[in-house]
Amino acid sequence: MNAISPVPPASPVGPSGQAGPVSRVSPIISAAELADALAGPRPPVVLDVRYRLGGPHGRPEYDAGHIPGAVFVDLDAELAGPPGAGGRHPLPDPEDFGAAMRRAGVGAGTPVVVYDADKGWGAARAWWLLRWTGHRDVRVLDGGLGAWAGPLETAAPAPAEGDFTAAPGALPLLTADTAAELARTGLLLDARAGERYRGETEPIDAVAGHVPGAVSAPTTENLDERGRFRAPAELRERFTALGAVPGEVGIYCGSGVSAAQLAVALELAGFTPALYAGSWSEWSRDPARPVATGPQPG
């Protein structure tokens, strides 16, 4: 299977202080652990990435109350490039992304915690981008803001400029062509809701359905009734039943956002998936690309 290029083993931090390819650390942190870390000698940078697909902008919610010290990050403006042929949320220019992270106070060796308030999609997008660009110590707040029992504040902090430099390539990526190949030869998981996968409805993109050969794996099934990630063993059982094999798992969604939450779950389960960043919003723009419908991969 040649669709995914393997991620090299983690290398030491170089002379510039920038991390090389990431090593495996837990991608999540509990609210209690975050509270302890914020009170400790090396508090993390906290990023608030409140985002809802098709919903209101997250900044007013941030201004109404956020975890103390958290910096708001705009998913559409800072975690994605301009929409176009590459999809609705193409990957941002690495230099632009690095600049946004430095403005938020992110340093090469600074722990980072990201959170949102809705399914973990926005937070996971920030987590994935930081990991992809070489940051070693970034985690998603498990359960999001709803799990936080501490105080909230309304004042926006003014963090000192960080020194993080984005060095993309630490996590694997898929193109439309390699995603299609992986759907034939390995496992390509579709993170969208089942009705969108089956082609019963498509509220956003021009064409309904899924990449032929892709397997349905909605992000909602990664979480328990509290909105927290299921146990690693439970997630591994889920993905193994879907056909996951190390080194042969790809993921996509509507525009590359919710699939990042699937990436968190897969990493908890012990897999390192390759993301098709353009996802369905790129795939469906090309009328020459085949489309499957119904409950089976096709």
Which residue ranges form the domains of the chain, and what is each CATH number? 28-147 (3.40.250.10), 173-283 (3.40.250.10)
Contacts of 232 (CB under 8 A, 6+ apart): 268, 269, 270
Q: Where are the alpha helices (DSSP H) in the chain?
A: 31-38, 59-64, 75-78, 94-103, 121-132, 176-185, 194-197, 232-241, 258-268, 279-283
Between CA 208 and CA 201 the distance in angstroms is 6
Identity (one letter) of the amino acid at 209? Answer: G
Beta bridge partners of residue 223, listed in sequence order: 229
Full pLDDT tens readout for the chain, 298 residues: 334 443 333 332 222 233 333 346 799 999 999 999 999 999 999 999 999 887 789 999 999 999 999 999 999 999 999 999 999 999 999 999 999 999 999 999 999 999 999 899 999 999 999 999 999 999 999 999 999 999 999 999 999 999 999 999 999 999 999 999 999 999 999 999 999 999 999 999 989 999 999 999 999 999 999 999 999 999 999 999 999 998 889 999 999 999 999 999 999 999 999 999 999 999 999 999 999 999 999 8
Instruction: Determine whether 189 is exposed, middle or buried from the number of CB atoms within 10 Å of its CB (0-12, 13-18, 19+).
Output: buried
**Whether residue 253 lies in the annotated active site:** yes
Structure tokens at 276: 């098709």
Spatial contact of 20 and 132, defined as CB atoms under 8 Å apart? no
Give the model's pLDDT for residue 24: 62
Q: Which of 249, 253, 259, 268 is catalytic?
A: 253
Query: Mind giving me the DSSP string for 90-137?
Result: PPPPHHHHHHHHHHTT--TT--EEEE-SSTTHHHHHHHHHHHHTT-S-
In order of 103, 134, 266, 283, the CA distances from 262 in angstroms are 28, 19, 6, 19
Spatial contact of 134 and 101, defined as CB atoms under 8 Å apart? no
Residue 223: CB atoms within 10 A of its CB come to 17
